[in-house]
Amino acid sequence: MQTVILAAGEGTRMRPLTAKTPKPMLPVVDRPVLAHVADVAVDGGASELIFVVGYHAESIQSHFGESYRGVPVTYVEQPKQDGTADAVRAAESHLDGSFVVLNGDNLYDATSVQALFENGPALGTYEVSTPSNYGVVSVTDGSVTDIVEKPADPPTDLANAGAYAFPAKAREWLDVPRSERGEHEITDVVTKVIDAYDVSAVELDRWLDVGRPWELLEANETVLASIERDIRGTVSDDADLRGPVVIEAGATVEPGVVIDGPVYVRSGAEIGPNAYVRGASMIGADVHIGNAVEIKNSVVRADTNVAHLSYVGDSVLGKSVNFGAGTKVANLRHDGETIRATVNGDRVSTGRRKFGVVAGDDVKTGINTSIDPGVMLSTGIITDPAERVSRDR
């Protein structure tokens, strides 16, 4: 079955990480979020992957090429991000029967997506604690009876998980009017399908909407929890690797290093000497972690350098970041409250007691910089030596 994967948006809620990278191409352990979505689609039985692209489309095209795991890949452009129904409509001319639609920035479990393929028309649902933040689905005897977007008084706790198996007829219903938010919403297409068909509700075993930086941390934590130990790189006899640790070929672990899994180290990375990396952490390709550095529960993207005597906890560092010697990231409020961070200009709760810094690409800190919890550092920002960074820059 043809599978449309929506990957055109920038992901403004993920800034500054998306200044140069589309949100679906941000890393979850060893591959982008979008590759995790493509994997479950292929495992579910996709006959063709149709990526709807827009923002930095070239990065998606160069990663996936013309086929992925033996399945042909087609790219269609959504020049202006004008809603999810508009995105699917961009792919309409390539569709020739029933089809599946998946969000390119969500983590799904493969078994549930396979059930979606097998039981179409179908809609993926997931039980959540705050349904008013999502599209909410009503189900009777296993069939979807209604869907409503972010209701103040949710009728159920089942969220719309952004996974749909549509009948061929739905191609005629993609031209929906704008919603109150000013976009063409795919949920309006779903409503038309519910009125005409018996739509199966497929409750997902795993689902995560990777929309904000701390959700990227959560996504990595989720996937790292299932990794198995695999040591292919060069590891000193004086290093101590504990539990589920992956060291890719081409990575180097120096003497005195302690790595306490789950930790994934990509090819070309150099760790140590005498560094401490503990779970759940992803160390990207060609990263350098210096002497006496501690990395805890963080995502460190490719080509980044964390110099000696530094601490990074519960943080996301972009590409080609350089943390000067002695840079310290604070990741805990002493009053026990959850840490707040800025999303699209608003300060919002991360829901986490521990959360450090989000550094965009090419950030550089002077020696002995200290960074308060929840700070966002924009692409290319440079701090002064011994500076305390207490607000977004």
**373 CB-near residues (< 8 Å, 6+ apart):** 330, 331, 332, 333, 339, 354, 355, 356
Choosing from 63, 288, 308, 334, the catalytic residue is 308
Are the beta carbons of 169 and 199 closer than 8 angstroms? no
d(CA 250, CA 282): 16
Are the beta carbons of 88 and 168 closer than 8 angstroms? no
Cα 38 vs. chain centroid, distance in angstroms? 13
Q: Count the Cβ atoms, other than its own, within 10 Å of residue 177.
A: 8
Active-site annotation holds for 308: yes
Maximal CA-CA distance, the chain: 66
Residue 254 tokens, joined: 């120096």
**Would you call 344 exposed, middle or buried from its count of C-beta atoms within 10 A (0-12, 13-18, 19+)?**
exposed
257, containing H or E segment? none
Q: Count the Cβ atoms, other than its own, within 10 Å of residue 173.
A: 19
d(CA 154, CA 132): 6
Are the beta carbons of 78 and 86 closer than 8 angstroms? yes
Active-site residue set: 308
